[in-house]
Amino acid sequence: MQESQSVEPVTSSNTDLLLEPTTNYTRITQQVADIILTPLLKTPRGWLFGFLISATALLLFLYTLGYLVAAGVGLWGVNIPVAWGMDILNFVWWIGIGHAGTLISAILLLFRQEWRTSINRFAEAMTIFAVICAGMYPIFHLGRPWLAYWVLPYPNTMGMWPQFRSPLEWDVFAISTYFTVSLLFWLTGLIPDFATLRDRTDNRVLKYIYGTVALGWRGSAIHWHRYELASLLLAGLSTPLVVSVHSIVSLDFAVAQVPGWNVTIFPPYFVAGAIFAGFAMVLLLMIPLRSYYNLQELITPKHVDVMGKVLLATGMVVAYGYFTEALFAWYSGGEFERFLLIDRATGGYAWAYWSLIFCNVLTPQALWIPRIRRSLPAMLVISLIVSVGMWLERFVIIVISLHRDFLPSSWGWYTPSFWDWMFYIGTFGIFFTGMFLFIRAMPSIAIFEVRSLFYKYRENRGNSGEVQGFAPITKDVTQ
Amino acid sequence: MSKEIIKLQDVRARLAGDRGKRQWRSIEELAETAEFDELVRREFPSQAGELRDPVTRRSFLKMMGASLALAGLTGCEYNVAQPQEKIVPYVRLPEGLIPGKPLFFATAMPFQGYGLGLVVEQHEGRPTKIEGNPDHPATMGASNVWMQASILTMYDPDRSKSISYNKQESTWENFTGALTQSLNQLRGNGGAGMRLLTETITSPTLIAQIQQLQQAFPQMQWVQYDPISRDNVRAGAQLAFGNIVNTIYDFSQARTIVSLDSDFMVTEPGHLRYARQFAQTRLVRKSNPAMSRFYVAESTPTITSTQADHRLPVSSSRIDALARAIAAQVGVGGVTAGEGLSDAENRWVTAVVQDLKASGGASIVITGEQQPPVVHALVHAINQQLGNVGKTVQYTNPIEANPGIQFDGLRQLVTDMNSGAVQLLLMLEGNPVYNAPADLNFTAALKKVPLSIHYGLFNDETSANSTWHVNASHYLEMWSDVRAFDGTASVIQPLIAPLYGSRSPHELLDALLGQPPRSGYDVVRGYWQGQLGTTFEQAWESALRNGVLPNTAQQPQQVSLQGNFAAQQAAAPAANDALEIAFRPDPSVWDGSYANNGWMQELPNPFTKLTWDNAAYVSPKRAQDLSLQEGDVVTLNYKGQSIEAPVIPLPGQADNTVTVHLGYGRQNIGVISAPDGVQIGFNAYQFRTSDAPWFNTGLQVQKTGRRHDLVTTRNNYVIDQQVYSAAERREIVRVATLDEYQKNPTFAQPEPHRLTEEQVESTEHNTNMVDPVPQGGKESPYVSLLPNYPYPGYAWGMTIDLNTCIGCNACVTACQAENNIPVVGKQQVALGREMFWIRIDQYYHGDLENPKVYNQPMLCQHCEHAPCELVCPVAATVHDAEGLNAMVYNRCVGTKYCSNNCPYKVRRFNFLQYQDEATQSLKLQRNPNVTVRSRGVMEKCTYCVQRIAAARQDAERLGQEIQDGGIITACQQACPTNAIVFGNINDKGSQVAQLKAEPTNYGVLTELNTQPRTTYLARVWNPNPAVGETE
């Protein structure tokens, strides 16, 4: 392998840069491609360790899944009245996480936000695996999962259509579309980088594999032209999906008449929550990755800072959502909504509600301070808290609402069972196994996009000594 | 699998060989190839059942291991082992049988010795469902939980299946051989060493046989013992009248009813009739806005007292003083009012006396079997003094054979056993080792009897301590007879041949008598032939057809009061804070005889909703004093014995009384009575002594600090103020006093849409719709996306009268029996997964010490705008053309979304494989017209759609409309008080439409615009204004 020894990263004290000034075209390609082209036997131990843990969790998932299908959803803690618990909770949580990827790759592309280039590939991969994890739940929370295909509209001997008035039916279309478009977008974006890998490797097998998935990419002007058009189209397609998927997921609740669910603000509030959770997850994964693979030149504190601002903004929308929910409940004067409002704050699950307020409303306020936004350890902790907070939000919405609904005689409680947790941990197995394989086998940073950013960066500096458009540049940087 | 080549020659040859018309579907079928067989099997895989077997984690591991090992071997083989099944059609069709149509037979069930008339549904020779017999005076078509559950006992796979000698399987011949040998020895001294121990017996044939036996063995002694004994009732009558008489009440005529610790709607031999009669006096209708007034004084809340207008919680020992006070004030001679009545007691007594006097012979005072004889005597005197006798109270000769004081008899028997005087003890049913009073130590005495024979349904505690055990026939398997509370005799006819080759008691008695073997049929028929002579054939025919032998009821007789009964003083009243223990039969497992019955174990007890357990009930105040929470384990110390029991603080429980229920703590007699071999509940019989079988002071309660998981279906503590205040704000149960009702009959209507007087007067306003929102020219105030579907044909609907629902659970068990509802077990109930399609919600109102209790049966409301239908992604729950909210099990994938969106939470989900599809005998009980649901599907009340379908078929065949009353749902049929009414609301003349036009008719949660087809008639109660406790 050429240039197999890794390049020492160089960081400057300037935290406003999207690329470290020490980088260059070679180093960008090398830093990203080396992760992948390291020979199998020289795979770093850290990666192996992480992968083994993830794969164990994946095996746990397969075991739990098998037992679940064999015995029934009674393994979980769900009951009457709380017929949805960890299953739908985690479904919404995973789906929400996925949103950041689509937002970064599609909407930010359309808005020409250049800071997205270093993180979009990674975030998109996260979307794919998060949606796969999410997808496990709606299928396997069914009493008879082997009949899940009945929700699809296909000609059948029963002469039955699905019931199109049900929000669960809308979910089927929303999520399958979302997954398809996200996957296409991700794979399309990978083509030029696959070609780079094909060209850089000496290994015949890898050359063959990457050559195949690069679909004959030669980097001709026509290729680039088609590619740009395709990504623009896909970005255009993805953009409404960012809003629609979680809006429709929120309708699972908003359409029902359960107090605490039947709230008109749910769609925007869920979308904001999803982006909030998604950015937290991107940060949570990106910060360790950056330090482990020495990607400091490509992912800078500036990136973390920008994402912190997004977190803060969406966090404020979410906080506003909580406020509005409470206001609606109080202002409506309705017995059921008011009762639920009080029960959330003072009932048996009040701990969940107040933890949620702490995680999602109070903690993000720290992001007003720029120093915290650029401190990677601080951001890691905040992201973790926000991820927990978003999990609690779904707990509050699903469990607290169901456990105290209309008829007091039917009030109940919900405790997740051992198998609930196993299944949840198992989905992490899917997610991280996928992510580890992705990091090892595919460029986790879009090489060509970063290189084009670098080009722009150089061009701008060449003209006026200052980079226009995305980041100021210090005078003493020379090459 | 390579496709076998079809040889067309073979096909032709086969076709040629066939005679007659052969229809075929394909060449493959004709060729009878393996592929075609395979195809058929795939289409109808009998192996698919494996998918639905309950899976434990262990079996899953095994399965997984096996499938890994076999994956390579059997991957291509679909059909591993096809079981061979033979289907044999009726060669000769039994007379009157149309396959698929059930037959109904009249029979009777002995309960506590007294007959309850039944009509039993039988499908192709297997009984599936028990109903009350409308022609029988004791049931009048209604049923109680034990009638409903007894069918499950018959099919119980844990029943004793053979005769055993010292726990080794033996034969009838060996048994009769041993018996004859012993009898021959005993014959010498006239059977002096011979004892017969039975439960209370009213069977005329059996009595005659026992009398024959007594003639053959003049020295033999016959003892009857029932743990839920009516000794005090008999002794009370003896005290009052000098001889034992049977008392029969007519509640339908009563304007004032006073219960002194009597749960007469449950424990009296005529309880179903009494409940129905009582309910008749409580119907508040537009046409007759009046009702009786009901006073109760008791120590522990009962089903009966949920109906009380004035309830006084007092310890059981205070009842004596109350009875004396009432007797003195109504003018019974020779009685002085007891001293020391509290203010509350005085107020209650004053009100009672005022109303009793004003009722002019239209009143009833009744007391329970747990009260001492003197209270019974006082009550007899009060009824005489008030002029009730002959009107609401009748006396007849006793129904049971040899009436006497059972505890005395048993005590004598044990003495004889201990002294070695008993050589042969025959225990004809009953389980004395388990339920005899603890002080007698029956078990030790039994071991001294050389030859003890236990004839019973189960290998139970008694059979384990007897030399011989003879497996008994269930009453559904034998010919016999029984007398009801008023003496009416019924013939018990078998619905099925004995499942385990058992013999009826008549056949056993025949063996004792040394007669040539006769069938049970011959014994019973022979007896009645002798009794009735020339009128026999006609009477027998009538008995089998209608369920009662005509003219067998006892005639009322005159009795006269003895003068000196009141002199007998009750025990001195205990000190004020002395704790009293009270024993009660369990509301579900009764005396323990239903302990192995899953329906009964899982049936939520009234008030506490406790399942699979018993508990000590304490008053909330006492619980607070001892800092006890629901589920805390206490040590009960009483008479030197101690038991650990979990407590439940129960609103309405008397402060000084701790109530324990009998019937739990059974040893392992089957999988239900002791799941996984673990005994459930505590055995209160260990405490019970023959001198104070019902209540006594001297109890001490100590907190242990440990807790026990009491599993209830309410999922919250019984005392949960939040529940009751929310229920009140939400107006789930709407309540008014009679006075308020008379002033404002529409009190139950939602405030903004309250009917005007004119609308109430016109019957038009409400009959053609289920929405309680008035339509009298007005638009519905609710906006809906859903259209209002027209229902030109039938429109099924239901009303439930909250004023007459006593919360007895009969509907719950009836529904379970009719609709193949599985039992899920304690753990699953604890998780909130019980499967009842109908449940009794109970709400409290008022203070914890003496609250009002409102019963509300809750089942699928069959909403016109059903929230469940909208959210199902696969259209598994849909509306039918007659307004039923139908559940299509086959289509259900199990999202559970419908349950979340159901505001009434009446949908039940098969979280696991709950239905026992493995036990053969239980399969026989299932209703063939109701789908047996597998795991993963939602289910709920269907308004008994199978009965609607059956009625429709009958009506269409006759070219008629279904008549009102042509469809009776299972819950409605069971209801003792006729609180549930079902019918076609499009038919203005139907009872249900009439009731929906009542001003008290309202729907629960109608503000959600669900437009429920099930509506409720509001609760009205009738307090005495003089007491001044109205709110």
Tell me: the pLDDT tens digits for B885-907? 999 999 999 999 999 999 999 99
Confidence tier at A447 by pLDDT (50, 70, 90): confident
Query: What is the distance in angstroms between the Cα of A82 and the nearest Cα belonging to chain B?
Result: 7
Report pLDDT for B673: 82
Query: What is the distance in angstroms between the Cα of B646 and the nearest Cα belonging to chain A?
Result: 21
Residue type, B307: Q
* CA atoms B268, B269, B272, B276: torsion sign: negative
Whether the CB of A154 is below 8 Å from some CB of chain B: the reply is: no
What mean pLDDT value characterizes chain B? 85
Burial B533-554 (b: 16+ CB within 10 A, else e): eeeeeebbebbeebbbbeebbb
* Cβ within 8 Å, pair A73-B936: yes
The residue among B844, B806, B854, B812 whose CA lies nearest residue B979 is: B806
- Residue from B608, B874, B909 to probe the interface with A (highest A Cβ count within 10 Å): B874
CA atoms within 13 A on the CB side of B252: 6
Which chain A residues touch B909 with a CB distance below 8 Å?
80, 83, 143
Cα gap B110→B635, rounded to integer Å: 37
- Tell me the count of A-B CB pairs closer than 8 A: 184
Enter the pTM of the model: 0.87
* Cβ within 8 Å, pair B871-A407: no
Per-residue pLDDT tens digits for B573-583: 555 668 899 99
- At B635, which helix (H) or strand (E)? strand B632-638
Report pLDDT for A112: 76
Cα gap B838→A263, rounded to integer Å: 31
Confidence tier at B780 by pLDDT (50, 70, 90): low
Query: What is the distance in angstroms between the Cα of A320 and the nearest Cα belonging to chain B?
Result: 27
Question: What would the mean pLDDT of B457-464 be, rounded to a whole number?
Answer: 91
CB B32 within 8 A of CB B52: no
CB B458 within 8 A of CB B426: no
- At B106, which helix (H) or strand (E)? strand B103-111
Q: Which two tokens stand for residue B428?
A: 């004809």
Q: Which two tokens stand for residue A367?
A: 């992001």
Report pLDDT for A7: 45
Whether the CB of A256 is below 8 Å from some CB of chain B: the reply is: yes
CA atoms within 13 A on the CB side of A31: 29
Q: For residue B72, with 0-12 CB atoms within 10 Å meaning exposed, 13-18 middle and 19 or more buried, which class applies?
A: exposed
* Cβ within 8 Å, pair B911-A335: no
Whether the per-residue pLDDT at A467 is higher than 60: the answer is no
CB B904 within 8 A of CB B858: yes
- Residue from A338, A409, A417, A422 to probe the interface with B (highest B Cβ count within 10 Å): A409
Which chain B residues touch A336 with a CB distance below 8 Å?
730
Strands (E) in B112-162, as ranges, are 114-123, 126-132
Per-residue pLDDT tens digits for A240-261: 888 899 999 999 999 999 998 9
Confidence tier at B846 by pLDDT (50, 70, 90): confident
Which chain A residues touch B729 with a CB distance below 8 Å?
335
Q: What 8-state DSSP symbol labels residue B1025?
A: T
CB B115 within 8 A of CB B202: yes
Whether the per-residue pLDDT at A262 is higher than 80: the answer is yes
Per-residue pLDDT tens digits for A355-379: 999 999 999 999 999 999 888 899 9
Report pLDDT for A54: 95
Report pLDDT for B572: 57
Cα gap B460→B445, rounded to integer Å: 17
Query: What is the distance in angstroms between the Cα of B720 and the nearest Cα belonging to chain A?
Result: 10
Cα gap A441→A245, rounded to integer Å: 29
Report pLDDT for A129: 94
Report pLDDT for B67: 56
Strands (E) in A169-315, as ranges, are none
SS3 B1017: strand
Question: What would the mean pLDDT of B519-537 be, rounded to a whole number?
Answer: 89
- Residue from B717, B730, B831 to probe the interface with A (highest A Cβ count within 10 Å): B831
Report pLDDT for A451: 79
Q: Between residues B957 and B341, which one has the greater pLDDT?
A: B957
Nearest to A143 among B732, B870, B909 (CB): B909
Phi, psi of A70 (to 5 degrees): -70, -40
Whether the CB of B1005 is below 8 Å from some CB of chain A: the reply is: yes
Q: Which residues in chain A (184-243) have CB-CB distances under 8 A to chain B?
A: none
Whether the per-residue pLDDT at B78 is higher than 70: the answer is no
Per-residue pLDDT tens digits for A186-201: 999 899 999 988 988 8
Whether the per-residue pLDDT at B167 is higher than 80: the answer is yes
Report pLDDT for B729: 84
Per-residue pLDDT tens digits for B636-657: 999 888 999 999 999 999 999 9
* Cβ within 8 Å, pair B55-A71: yes
Cα gap B117→B144, rounded to integer Å: 11
- At B702, which helix (H) or strand (E)? strand B700-707
Nearest to A144 among B60, B714, B894 (CB): B894
Report pLDDT for B1007: 85
Q: Which residues in chain A (322-361) have CB-CB distances under 8 A to chain B?
A: 335-336, 339
Report pLDDT for B755: 47
Confidence tier at B570 by pLDDT (50, 70, 90): low
The number of residues in chain A equals 479
* Cβ within 8 Å, pair B732-A407: yes
Lowest mean pLDDT among A287-296, B216-225, B622-631, B757-766: B757-766
* DSSP strand pairing (B980-984 vs B796-801): antiparallel
Residue B49 neighbours by CB under 8 Å, 6+ apart = B917
End-to-end, the C-alpha distance of chain A in Å comes to: 27
ipTM score here? 0.90
Report pLDDT for B76: 43
Confidence tier at A292 by pLDDT (50, 70, 90): confident
Per-residue pLDDT tens digits for B29-42: 555 555 555 555 54
Which chain B residues touch A160 with a CB distance below 8 Å?
874-875, 891
Nearest to A150 among B56, B893, B913 (CB): B893
SS3 B491: strand
Per-residue pLDDT tens digits for B588-601: 999 999 999 999 99
Confidence tier at A295 by pLDDT (50, 70, 90): confident
Question: What would the mean pLDDT of B78-86 be, rounded to a whole number?
Answer: 48
Which chain B residues touch A339 with a CB distance below 8 Å?
726
SS3 B269: coil
Query: What is the distance in angstroms between the Cα of A305 and the nearest Cα belonging to chain B?
Result: 41
Over pLDDT 70: what percentage of chain A?
90
Question: What would the mean pLDDT of B42-57 be, rounded to a whole number?
Answer: 48
* Cβ within 8 Å, pair A409-B909: no
Which chain B residues touch A75 with a CB distance below 8 Å?
912
Question: What would the mean pLDDT of B55-75 be, rounded to a whole number?
Answer: 57
Lowest mean pLDDT among A190-194, A368-372, A405-409, B403-407: B403-407
What mean pLDDT value characterizes chain A? 86
Whether the CB of B71 is below 8 Å from some CB of chain A: the reply is: no
Whether the per-residue pLDDT at B788 is higher than 90: the answer is no
Whether the CB of B826 is below 8 Å from some CB of chain A: the reply is: no
Whether the CB of B722 is below 8 Å from some CB of chain A: the reply is: yes
Report pLDDT for B567: 66
Which chain B residues touch A162 with a CB distance below 8 Å?
873-875
Phi, psi of A227 (to 5 degrees): -60, -45
Residue of A nearest to B786 (CA): A165
**What is the secondary structure of B870-917 as a DSSP string?**
HH-TT--EEE-TTS-EEE-GGG-----HHHHH-TT---EE--S--S--
Confidence tier at B60 by pLDDT (50, 70, 90): low
Rounded to 5°, the CA angle A417-A420-A421 comes to 100
Strands (E) in B931-1008, as ranges, are 938-939, 980-984, 1001-1002
Query: What is the distance in angstroms between the Cα of A140 and the nearest Cα belonging to chain B?
Result: 10
Question: What would the mean pLDDT of B178-207 be, rounded to a whole number?
Answer: 90
* Cβ within 8 Å, pair B905-A80: yes
Q: Which two tokens stand for residue B293?
A: 């007034």
Whether the per-residue pLDDT at A305 is higher than 70: the answer is yes
Q: Which residues in chain B (906-935) have CB-CB distances under 8 A to chain A?
A: 907-913, 935
- Residue from B845, B888, B902 to probe the interface with A (highest A Cβ count within 10 Å): B902
* Cβ within 8 Å, pair B900-A143: no
Cα gap A240→A252, rounded to integer Å: 19
Cα gap B584→B657, rounded to integer Å: 12
Give the residue carrying structure tokens 């844990």: B158
* DSSP strand pairing (B256-260 vs B293-298): parallel
Which chain A residues touch B873 with a CB distance below 8 Å?
151, 162-163, 166, 168-169, 172
Report pLDDT for A159: 87
Residue of B nearest to A340 (CA): B726
Strands (E) in B309-442, as ranges, are 310-313, 363-367, 393-396, 424-428
SS3 A453: helix
Nearest to B895 among A75, A142, A408 (CB): A142
